[in-house]
Amino acid sequence: MKHSYRVAINAEHCKACGLCIEFCPQDVLGFASTRNDAGFYPAEVQDQANCIGCLRCAMMCPDACIEIWRLVSADDRVAAAESVTR
């Protein structure tokens, strides 16, 4: 079963070191075209659909600016409910 993931980046805390971008195997991230309040061009999600949930970007971020969320579909909820009742 293929899962979908959501990448959330706190752009105001990002120092634009680029480690998350460099280590993403799917090229999901890139630099923003606008600056944050600190004057950096923060990392941003550029291709959300390609995220495989590997967490490399979040692990490499020295400022813990990145969160990865696995999206749960209605089918996943039904399957989980059925496995509990069996």
The parent domain of residue 17 ranges over 4-85
- Residue 85 above 90 pLDDT? no
Beta strands 43-45; 29-31: pairing state: antiparallel
CATH code for the domain of 49: 3.30.70.20
Coil, helix or strand at residue 82: helix
Residue type, 48: Q
| 9-43 pLDDT, tens digit each | 999 999 999 999 999 999 999 999 999 999 999 99
More confident residue, 75 or 41: 41
Mean per-residue pLDDT of the chain = 89
How many domains does the chain fold into? 1
- Residue 1 above 80 pLDDT? no
